[in-house]
């Protein structure tokens, strides 16, 4: 009987709706919540267990006949039709590589708080074009600490970099710089609510700015995770200057490689636009002709029509990841807005902090 039931469950997993985790979309889920009738991955099964939802391993646990019949009569498609009936278009649906707090709050919102069944309207979209960040002053209110235009706003979870499981990085344009704010909240529900509130405002802006755009086109532009981040060493324009360690962020949507002195800096030291090969841009491995101060040996060269940038990675794995990420941006055709973005870049005088020419808005 045990083998028969296991075989029946494995057959259920072959159905398209059941072949990916019901909560994060990870392929080949091998756990199930027999309280909800959904098939989930190992990580999401742990979250369900913490919520007192009954879970079993498809392959390792014993399944009674009645539980198998329950799974047959339910499944991911049925659960989605009930628990995801009214998910707002802007609400972030976690993916398999997302942090635990995003996955946990998605699961709690769906099954514990039943926010998306359509019975209540939990979310409203603000059409205000600015986000106001307030400093709390007990005795006297001094107005907003900063006003951030929704147009250039991005938010992304950064728990490892910020050092807090509920850490959120907010990025926006301020004058000729990209400005970073790092925030967190002790409540995971509260920080995810803020994140989705920002996404709601961004969605409203995009619907106004691009009235003919479909949700399929606009939703990926609401907020974005950066394709690659990490430390590399860099040298100056002549490739004879001492190498200095810098924190890099590659924003694939804007085709820009930012570099900072440290990973939690508020403003970038510079930004490099990554165009396409037919416009004179290139990415390749390299060994620098002159080395001063570099501790790392795995080189990456980014070529632009103006100059060549040389970076050094600590390990070959990091080098491969940077090459793959940069080539991914390089291979994507430029959109009309990319040309506008590139035209906004200008070469500024040598930065005293970085001893190289920096590119900024």
For residues 340 and 243, what is the distance between their CA atoms, to the nearest angstrom? 32
Which structure tokens are listed for 6?
């296991």
Sign of the CA dihedral running 193, 94, 207, 344? positive
Largest CA distance in the chain: 76
Q: What is the mean pLDDT of each run of 10 residues along the chain (361 residues)?
A: 88 96 97 96 95 91 95 96 96 95 97 90 50 41 78 93 95 89 95 97 96 95 96 87 94 95 95 95 86 83 93 96 98 82 49 35 22
Residue 240 pLDDT: 80
Residue for token pair 């939802």: 53
Q: What are phi and psi of 211, to 5 degrees?
A: -65, -25
Residue 53 pLDDT: 81
Where helices occur in 265-349 by DSSP H, the ranges are: 316-331, 336-343
For residues 278 and 284, what is the distance between their CA atoms, to the nearest angstrom? 15
How many CB atoms lie under 10 A from the CB of residue 164?
17
Residue for token pair 């810098």: 246
Residue 1 pLDDT: 65
Do residues 315 and 230 touch, judged by C-beta distance below 8 A?
Answer: no
CB-based contacts of 237: which residues, under 8 Å, 6+ apart? 307, 356, 357
Residue for token pair 């440290």: 262
Coil, helix or strand at residue 157: strand
Residue 233 pLDDT: 95
For residues 60 and 75, what is the distance between their CA atoms, to the nearest angstrom? 19
């Amino acid at each position: 009987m045990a083998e028969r039931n296991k075989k029946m469950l494995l057959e259920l997993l072959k159905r398209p709706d059941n072949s990916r985790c019901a909560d994060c979309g990870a392929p080949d889920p091998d756990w199930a919540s027999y309280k909800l009738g959904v098939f989930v991955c190992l990580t999401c099964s742990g979250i369900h267990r913490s919520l007192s939802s009954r879970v079993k391993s498809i392959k390792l646990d014993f399944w009674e006949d009645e539980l198998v019949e329950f799974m047959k009569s339910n499944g991911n498609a049925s659960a989605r039709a009930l628990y995801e009936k009214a998910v707002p278009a802007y609400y972030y649906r976690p993916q398999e590589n997302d942090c635990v707090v995003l996955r946990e709050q998605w699961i709690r919102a769906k099954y514990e708080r039943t926010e998306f069944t359509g019975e209540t309207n939990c979310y409203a979209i603000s059409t205000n074009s600015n986000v106001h960040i307030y400093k709390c002053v007990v005795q006297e209110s001094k107005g907003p600490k900063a006003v951030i235009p929704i147009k250039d706003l991005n938010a992304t979870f950064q728990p490892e970099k910020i050092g807090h499981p509920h850490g959120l990085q907010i990025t926006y344009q301020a004058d000729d710089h990209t400005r970073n704010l790092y925030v967190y909240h002790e409540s995971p529900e509260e920080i995810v609510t803020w994140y989705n509130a920002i996404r709601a405002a961004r969605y409203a802006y995009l619907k106004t700015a691009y009235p003919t755009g479909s949700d399929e086109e606009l939703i990926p532009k609401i907020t974005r995770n950066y394709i690659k981040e990490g430390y590399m060493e860099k040298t100056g324009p002549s490739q004879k200057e001492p190498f200095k360690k810098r924190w890099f962020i590659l924003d694939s949507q804007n085709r820009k490689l930012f570099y900072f002195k440290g990973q939690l800096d508020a403003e970038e030291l510079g930004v490099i636009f990554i165009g396409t090969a037919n416009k004179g841009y290139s990415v390749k491995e390299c060994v620098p002709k002159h080395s001063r101060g570099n501790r790392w040996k795995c080189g990456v060269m980014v070529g632009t029509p103006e100059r060549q940038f040389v970076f050094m990675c600590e390990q070959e794995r990091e080098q491969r990841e940077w090459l793959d990420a940069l080539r991914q941006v390089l291979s994507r055709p430029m959109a009309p807005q990319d040309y506008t973005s590139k035209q906004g870049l200008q070469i500024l005088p040598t930065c005293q902090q970085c001893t190289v020419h920096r590119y900024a808005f």
